[in-house]
Amino acid sequence: MLKRRLGTSGLEIAPLVLGGNVFGWTADKATSFAVLDAFIGAGFNAVDTADVYSRWAPGHQGGESETVIGEWMANRRARPAVCLITKVGSPMPEGKGLRAAYIQQACEASLRRLRTDHIDLYLSHFPDPETPVEETLEAHERLISQGKIRAAGASNYDAKGLRLALEAASAGERARYSVLQPHYNLLVRDQYEGELEDLCISQDLGVIPYFALASGFLTGKYRSAADLSQSVRGGRMKDLMQGRPQALLGAMDRVCARHGATPAQLALAWLLARPGVTAPIASATSLVQLNELLPAVSLRLSEDDLRELSI
């Protein structure tokens, strides 16, 4: 499979990233192993997780997803086949934020859970207003020099914060963020398009959007109040169903009919057609879900399709 260069990171990934937030949560260990087997077996390579996944679930402490992925890589001897992405900074029992000492501590904890000696891409999960960005970047550079990470990136940064971080980078002293992970999809466009998108393109950053399917809304299964009971995210869907989203779903239905595609495939293909996007992140809690998503990388949208979806 043709891989895409991930900004200036030196990494190459296939055009779909598997979201690991569900592993050890809504996908149990056996299901997670099966999904990972099928994803890598189909020629894809990038798996995204975070130390905090899935601390929000009752009885969880964080680290559940990393632990499952680590067990799978060890069991399958699959580490060489994986471009491994994880994150630091969200609240954990041991701490939070982007102070240098905590980044070092959290990285080593992630490495233990993942059963590996290095992380391919290590992301600052959220900006930390209490920590100078220079300190954060020096901590990432230290991890690179130690061989514990290959590249550093940022998640949830706005244009101002990302620009300041890029300006603070210094060769050999402070790492440069080479990748951005923004909240971006066909429904939620205002958080990325415009200044932030322009900055990523001009600075040659890799872009791997999360919530690519808008927490499942863009799969098309949430169309009325009666559909809200289908998922643990039903409450969030209620807000998304008002106004423009209904017109968007109608446009998606028309484009899907022309291509014989599903709404989920269309939503991912739309992201892949956007300038600067390297690969979207999508999660799957079953092989059925995964097998629906994978054909999205082969779906080519016309200019007419793209115009119809821009409503």
* pLDDT tens-digit map of 212-238: 999 889 998 876 655 556 655 555 555
Residue 95 is predicted with a pLDDT of 97
Query: Where do the domains of the chain lie, and which CATH numbers do they carry?
Result: 4-219+264-302 (3.20.20.100)
Q: How far is CA 276 from CA 49, 199, 203, 205, 284, in A?
A: 22, 10, 10, 8, 24
CA dist., res. 77 & res. 51, Å (int):
22
pTM, to two decimals: 0.94
**Residue 1 pLDDT grade (very low, low, confident, very high; cuts 50, 70, 90):** confident
Q: What is the arithmetic mean of pLDDT over 243-265? A: 92
Nearest CA to 293 out of 27, 15, 48, 11 is that of: 15
Residue 238: how many CB atoms within 10 A of its CB?
A: 13
Cross-strand partners of 12: 5
Q: How crowded is the C-beta side of 42, counted as CA atoms within 13 Å?
A: 22
Q: What is the arithmetic mean of pLDDT over 94-120? A: 98
Please report, as a single letter, which amino acid is at residue 282.
A
Residue 218 is predicted with a pLDDT of 95
**Neighbour-count burial for 77-87, b at 16+ CB within 10 Å, e otherwise:** ebbeebbbbbb
Residues with catalytic roles: 53
C-beta separation of 193 from 159 below 8 A: no
Structure tokens at 302: 């016309």
Residues 6+ apart with CB under 8 A from 16: 44, 46, 268, 279, 280, 282, 293, 294, 296, 297
Nearest CA to 271 out of 246, 293, 291 is that of: 293
In this structure, what DSSP letter does residue 176 have? -
Residue 75 is predicted with a pLDDT of 98
C-beta separation of 212 from 267 below 8 A: yes
Residue 237 is predicted with a pLDDT of 57
Statement: residue 129 has pLDDT above 90: yes
Residue 220 is predicted with a pLDDT of 86
Residue 51: how many CB atoms within 10 A of its CB?
A: 23
Q: What is the pLDDT of residues 32-54, one digit of tens each?
A: 999 999 999 999 999 999 999 99
Statement: residue 244 has pLDDT above 70: no
Residue where the block lists tokens 């499942």 = 216
Q: What is the pLDDT of residues 135-148, one digit of tens each?
A: 999 999 999 999 99
Strands 12-13 and 4-5, sheet pairing? antiparallel
SS3 of 70, please?
helix
Average pLDDT, the chain: 94
Strands 83-88 and 12-13, sheet pairing? unpaired
In the chain, % of residues over pLDDT 70: 93
Structure tokens at 145: 């020099």
C-beta separation of 309 from 252 below 8 A: yes
**Residue 171 pLDDT grade (very low, low, confident, very high; cuts 50, 70, 90):** confident
